[in-house]
Amino acid sequence: MTTVETLSTLDGPETSGKTSGRRGAGFRLKRLPLGLVLAWIIIVMVLLWAVAPGLFTAYDPLQGVPGGQLKAPSTLHLLGTDSLGRDLYSRIVHGAIHSLSGAIAAVGVGLVTGTAFGLVAGATGGRADAIIMRFVDVLLSIPTLLLSLSIIILLGFGTVNAAIAVGATAIAGFARLMRSEVVRVRRAEFVEAAFGSGGTFRSVLWRHILPNSLTSIIAYTAVQFGWAILQLSTLGFLGYGAPPPTPEWGLLIAEGRNYLATAWWLTAAPGLVVVAVVLSANRISQSIGRTGA
């Protein structure tokens, strides 16, 4: 064997392995659907708006410019100005923190409470299961908007109370899904084997049942995130969310509805942002669900 052949033999497997790995990664990237890529871009962009709004706009979202009321979109004001001369793009960017934080809080309330209810109901069964699921059925029988408004009337107006109200309406969905996943996993052979090998109920629950029941919950959480933004925007539009002049997306839509004939962008721009975020969250949820399946 010549020197060249020896070197090629020694370097061949590693080089080919690295090359095939890079080709495989590139192939997987090329196979990503365009819709999923756009969804992630939108979600990441909105998250950056919430974290560092000053990087995207230099205008004060609460300070209007005298004589600059209801200006059409231009290079100076990308999405125009509102009735007080405030830059609409700046208000949308700064409003991301209010809408996203409210949605995260709402999903957190529904996720933690609903998952706990579903876990207990599916794992214990019997009377506890019956009581919890009857309570869940009662929650499901009440329209979500009506339940949200009832809770807000009891707690008072504001972003935090609106998030709690929206989160309370999500408890039933999380509980039903979690219960069905726990019941499915409990019947699996590896769970029976864990019990047969001497595992206690608590250890099997936390080490085997709960981790294997969370895939669908994670996908459902992404759906609920978009749904929470939509619900919070609805409450803000009705005047039950953040008070003016807070640049919350639902409130921005409500403020622009009186100028649809002359300044349509005041309603269209924040409305399109809400739709884009909701659709992106749903698309990501579908991807997570297919991956888990």
CATH value at residue 179: 1.10.3720.10
pLDDT band at 288 (very low <50, low <70, confident <90, very high): confident
Within-domain flag for 1: no
The pLDDT value given to residue 7: 40
pTM of this structure: 0.81
The domain tally of the chain equals 1
Within-domain flag for 175: yes
State the Cα torsion 160-166-167-171 to the nearest 10°: 160
Within-domain flag for 97: yes
Q: Check if the beta carbon of residue 285 is closer than 8 Å to that of residue 222.
A: yes
**d(C-alpha 37, C-alpha 28), whole Å:** 13
CA dist list (Å): 117 to 73, 120, 123, 129, 222? 49, 5, 10, 9, 20
Q: Check if the beta carbon of residue 170 is closer than 8 Å to that of residue 107.
A: yes
Element (H, E) at 115: helix 88-124
Give me the domain span that covers residue 123.
Answer: 34-51+87-292
**d(C-alpha 57, C-alpha 72), whole Å:** 17
Three-state SS at 81: strand
Kindly give the interhelix angle for 88-124 and 34-51, rounded to the nearest 10 degrees. 110
Q: Which long-range contacts (CB under 8 A, 24 or more apart) does 182-189 make?
A: 182/118, 182/119, 182/121, 182/122, 182/123, 182/209, 182/210, 182/213, 183/122, 184/213, 185/209, 185/212, 185/213, 186/122, 186/123, 188/212
pLDDT at residue 208 above 60?
yes
Within-domain flag for 17: no
- What's the length of the chain? 293
Average pLDDT for the chain = 85
Lowest mean pLDDT among 30-34, 221-225, 288-292: 288-292
**d(C-alpha 187, C-alpha 59), whole Å:** 58
Within-domain flag for 80: no
The pLDDT value given to residue 23: 52
pLDDT digits (tens, 9 = 90+) for 39-77: 999 999 999 999 999 999 999 999 988 888 999 999 999
Q: Which amino acid is at 197?
A: S
Three-state SS at 205: helix
- Tokens 């957190």 locate to 108
pLDDT digits (tens, 9 = 90+) for 209-247: 888 888 889 889 988 999 999 999 999 998 888 888 889
Could you give the residue ranges of the DSSP H alpha helices within 156-241?
159-186, 189-196, 201-204, 214-238
Task: Dig out the tokens for 53 from the structure.
Answer: 């709004």
Within-domain flag for 233: yes
**d(C-alpha 7, C-alpha 259), whole Å:** 75
Nearest to 168 by CA among 93, 240, 231, 220: 231
Within-domain flag for 16: no
Within-domain flag for 199: yes
